[in-house]
Structure 1
Amino acid sequence: MCERAHTGTALSAGQYPTSPEGLTVCAVTGTRKPRRATVHDVAAAAGVSRGTVNRVLNGGYVSTDARAAIEAAIAEVGYVPNRAASNLARQRSQAVGFLALEPHSLLLEDPNIGAIMLGANAVLSLADHQMVSLVIDSDRDMQRVGRYLSGGFVDGAIIVSARSHDPITRLIAEIKLPATFVGHPPDLDRSIPFVGIDNIGSSRAITERLLATGRTRVGMIAAALDRDSGADRLAGFQQALGDLFDPTLVVDVPLYDYAYGVKGMRALLDREPALDGVFAASDAVAAGALETLREAGRRVPEDVGLVGFDDSSWALRTQPPLSTVHQPARDIGRNAAESVLRQIAGDPVESGVLLDSPVVWRQSA
């Protein structure tokens, strides 16, 4: 660490002696450290006032000649703006929180959450904003993250997997934090925008396609019914079946998870051994169901047609590959980030954006 040199000049705390060349001298190592260029240096080199330099740095108006002179001076003296000080003055953090309300295990395994995160980060990075990942897996996490958001450490938030009556939803509305939801919780404050897909319509479409293959006893492994995505996928399944819908052929599991696909499929086969079609609420659930069907000696698609949802990497890992619904996860992340940035800037945004989610038909059905 460089300490103040012992010279005949009295120095205030935190001040270091400089050489005639404008270098800071380290008394401990004897090395010379280049002094950081300041706004004063830029102003002197450009022949303008410090206020004119600050207007350029903050996006204000100056004449074309003055701007050109200041930009040349910045390059000449090697000035780098102090973003931390600027953000403090504007009461901005230049950061956006990415809130995933999922168990830690699922967060690491779910390719959709990862793709949404990467899409959001790409947009935030281009806007010089840092993405802060905040995982909420417990009541303690909820309280901690709530304090963090209330403390002004982020300028906005993207919320993934919110459930009905989540405290975090109410908090964001109360503190008026610029935010966008991925999905549309039923009790969502109408002032908070969302980005998602038509889960009902897409689930209805893939179930109708499955029924068109001649399946007559079709069940569903319905996951995450405490979220809009899970509840809507079940609603679409029921709409497609109409009078053929049998509630005993719906198994409810808590998460979009491979292990719950295994358990859910075992429960379905116990209820209806003659089952010949299955809609799994996600590709991970469908992959678990496929493993159980194999163990039971049921061939896919010859004996049982199986479809999933998401068109994630799970859909291509299985043999046969899964028929599924394409969820544009990266585009969802990008749209959510753009929505938050527009709100931070004070620009108008759409209250809700639904992206296309077409059926992708493969060999599993």
Structure 2
Amino acid sequence: MQDQGSPSKRATAHDIATAAGVSRGTVSRALNGGYVSAAARAAIAAAIADLGYAPNTAARSLVMQRSQAVGFLVLEPHTLLLEDPNIGAIMLGANAVLSAADYQMVNLVVDSAKDTERITKYLGGRFVDGAIIVSARADDPITRVVAELALPATFVGHPPNLQQGVPFVGIDNVGSARAITERLVATGRQRIGMIAAAVDRDSGTDRLTGFQQALADRFDPRLVAQVPFYDYTSGMEGMRTLLERDPRIDGVFAASDVVAAGALQVLREAGRAVPADVGVVGFDDSPWALRTTPPLSTVHQPAKDIGARAAELVLRQLKGQQVEATGVFLPTPVVWRASA
């Protein structure tokens, strides 16, 4: 009799076969989706429930040379991962698709050179079968590692040095930024500035390009405040810079909703009414857009759908299927609210 304090013995497929009165091969076929009779399948299910059997996924992974895991790599500071609901929504969308396919999602945050070194070794050890990469910058070392390992991967966004044929899922940041800036111009604003975040990656650069295209000859480079991150603090810093450069500013395009929320805080402190004195628009249509006072005009970014499509593309590669070589772009309608 087993001691009460000792760990319980793990039930095996042999134990299941004995309890169900079938062969071990029949148990193996049932567990792996093969054909067995209805009576045998019912007996096996009853034995599994009775013995508390759980398949040895580590052993199965060793045999199949698959981990049944996909890495979700966020190339952003740890604090931004918690503050930016857009990243969270992408992650949830990806996890839903991977979970339905019986894959585990492994979250990996790359915030430093040490993180890069550690995760490079992790990827090289094949602890994940594929990867979804968010916020890669130009010449990012993780991008090179993924290419060198020939790791099935999908990028969210399109870093400039992404190899041809590597799949990505994204949005038309240039066109979307141009559309909402044109809408802001149509309200009659004369001095329009931008808080341009994260211009070291494609989304930030493209949104700045769209803003410049919309203003054309009216574009004033002095009214662009570049900030490092899509976060609240950056929005506050950028708005202060714009007010210092031109106190007459009457319109602001913030590169994300959370950046816009920080800008609104500074405008309140400066006694500037929104939208009466300054019209403000953002980007993402995240929960931040409805938390602000007034609610924020913005661009709707389908973050969950982006994550889901990225996961689907990784799974297709793992099955050896063809994927879109030119990338997938999802629609981004303008959502107009009271802030402008």
Same fold by TM (over 0.5)? Answer: yes
Select which of 316, 320, 324 maps to 1:342: 316
* Residues 137 and 118 of structure 1, relative CA distance in 2, 3 Å threshold: same
Select which of 300, 316, 329 maps to 2:290: 316
**Could you list the per-position Cα deviations for residues 294-334 of structure 1 after superposition, in whole angstroms to 9, with x for gaps in the alignment?**
22221111111110001111111111111000111111111
Which of structures 1 and 2 has the larger relative contact order (alpha carbons within 8 angstroms, sep 6+)? 2
Question: Are 1:283 and 1:315, in contact at CA under 8 Å, matched by a contact in 2?
Answer: yes
**Could you list the per-position Cα deviations for residues 25-68 of structure 1 after superposition, in whole angstroms to 9, with x for gaps in the alignment?**
31x349996772425743894655x44553453345x4xxx343
Ranges in structure 1 where 5+ consecutive residues have no aligned partner: 1-24
SS at match of 1:215: coil
Higher CA-based Rg: 1
* Residues 33 and 169 of structure 1, relative CA distance in 2, 3 Å threshold: closer
Letter matched to residue 306 of structure 2 = I
For residues 76 and 54 of structure 1, the distance between their equivalents in structure 2, rounded to whole angstroms, comes to 15
Letter matched to residue 313 of structure 1 = P
1:226 aligned to 2:186?
no
- Percent sequence identity over aligned pairs: 69
For residues 271 and 284 of structure 2, the distance between their equivalents in structure 1, rounded to whole angstroms, comes to 26
Select which of 157, 162, 184 maps to 1:210: 184
Letter matched to residue 201 of structure 1 = G
Counterparts of 1:108-257 in structure 2, within 5 Å, are 108-257=82-231
Question: Are 1:98 and 1:157, in contact at CA under 8 Å, matched by a contact in 2?
Answer: yes
SS at match of 1:75: helix
Ranges in structure 2 where 5+ consecutive residues have no aligned partner: none
Letter matched to residue 193 of structure 2 = G
In structure 1, the residue matched to 2:42 is: 72
In structure 1, the residue matched to 2:257 is: 283
For residues 124 and 69 of structure 2, the distance between their equivalents in structure 1, rounded to whole angstroms, comes to 14
For residues 262 and 167 of structure 1, the distance between their equivalents in structure 2, rounded to whole angstroms, comes to 31
Q: State the TM-score, normalizing by the size of structure 2.
A: 0.93
Question: Are 1:197 and 1:357, in contact at CA under 8 Å, matched by a contact in 2?
Answer: yes
For residues 362 and 35 of structure 1, the distance between their equivalents in structure 2, rounded to whole angstroms, comes to 58
Q: State the TM-score, normalizing by the size of structure 1.
A: 0.86
In structure 1, the residue matched to 2:28 is: 54
User: Which stretch shows the higher mean deviation, 251-260 or 28-37?
Assistant: 28-37
SS at match of 1:261: helix
**Could you list the per-position Cα deviations for residues 125-182 of structure 1 after superposition, in whole angstroms to 9, with x for gaps in the alignment?**
1111111111111000000001001101111111111111000000001101111111
Select which of 232, 238, 258 maps to 1:264: 238
Question: Are 1:43 and 1:53, in contact at CA under 8 Å, matched by a contact in 2?
Answer: no
Q: Shift of the alpha carbon at 1:70?
A: 4.0
In structure 2, the residue matched to 1:354 is: 329
Question: Are 2:13 and 2:28, in contact at CA under 8 Å, matched by a contact in 1?
Answer: no
Give structure 1 regions of 4+ aligned residues with deviation exceeding 2 angstroms.
28-35, 39-48, 50-60, 66-70, 79-84
